[in-house]
Amino acid sequence: MRNHGLFCCLFQNYTEDFTLPYFIIPLTPLGLEDIIFSVFGGEMKETIIKSYKESIHVKETFFKQTMAPVIQAAEIIADAFKAGNKLLICGNGGSAADSQHLAAEFVNRFVIERPPLPAVALSTDTSVITSIGNDYSFEQIFSKQIKAIGKEGDVLLAISTSGDSKNVIMAAKVARDMGIKIIGLTGKGGGKMAKMVDILLNVDSDVTARIQEVHITVGHIICELVDHIIFQSMGKEQE
């Protein structure tokens, strides 16, 4: 009973820290975390199941609706690479992370062994970003980089879960004026970007997390398609 009382006290302290209700739980050989999971585990399992089912549903809906534009996006990027041009990628927050992630897949490799492909994430150079943000405005952090290193024939992959990120919209405007083709990776209907891009890849969801999960999936698929288009065709030409 003494150990039982000690356990109840420990559990009470834990619950007080996290503003959870107080439970009297009999002494068991399980650890404290196991006991907590036995009380709250059902709710956590429901959250997990709900989240992954939502993610699967949103992905399935996206690819049923957007299969052809995904292929077109891969073809545009592949054509740019084959012509000696490059892919520029921009986005904020999680979309900035996706920009860097996808650029790395192209520059290093995705799955197959092949030469590096020229892709640049515009979210990585903190000196450039902070100097533009400080001297001009945050809205110009991507557009000024495009003016500096972009050229006609390049491709811009503009990522915004809302389609309304001001600095991504300004990047798209500048890219369009420079003859750079634009692929918009969005959600929530596409926002203002929907009418500015050459190819719209819009995720039919209002939940940012679900949109981002589709974005990285379609990004990986585009990487795989680009590799297939360029290096399969190169193999056939060599034959």
CATH code at position 215 = 3.40.50.10490
Alpha carbon of 29 to those of 3, 8, 34, 40, 99: distances in Å?
11, 14, 10, 18, 48
Residues 102 and 20 in one domain: no
Number of domains in the chain: 2
Q: Work out the angle at residue 94's Cα, subtended by the Cα atoms of residues 93 and 97, and round it to the nearest 5 degrees.
A: 95
More reliable by pLDDT, 22 or 43: 43
177-235 pLDDT per residue, tens: 999 999 999 999 999 999 999 999 999 999 999 999 999 999 999 999 999 999 985 54
**Domain containing residue 85:** 64-238
Residues 232 and 162 in one domain: yes
Supply the DSSP symbol for 232. Answer: I
47-73 pLDDT per residue, tens: 899 999 999 999 999 999 999 999 999
Place of tokens 């009999």: 26
47 belongs to a structural domain = no
Residues 12 and 112 in one domain: no
- Give 118's pLDDT tier (boundaries 50, 70, 90): very high
141 belongs to a structural domain = yes
Q: What is the pLDDT of residue 12?
A: 47
- Give 37's pLDDT tier (boundaries 50, 70, 90): low
Supply the DSSP symbol for 83. Answer: T
Residues 76 and 130 in one domain: yes
- Give 9's pLDDT tier (boundaries 50, 70, 90): very low
Residues 6 and 122 in one domain: no
- 24 vs 9: CA distance, rounded Å: 9
Q: What is the pLDDT of residue 50?
A: 93
Residues 128 and 23 in one domain: no
The answer to pTM > 0.85 is no
What average pLDDT does range 33-39 have in this prediction? 66
33 belongs to a structural domain = no
Residues 108 and 219 in one domain: yes
Tokens in use for 166?
């001001």
64-111 pLDDT per residue, tens: 999 999 999 999 999 999 999 999 999 999 999 999 999 999 999 999
- Give 32's pLDDT tier (boundaries 50, 70, 90): low
What average pLDDT does range 18-31 have in this prediction? 52
Place of tokens 């600095």: 167
40 belongs to a structural domain = no
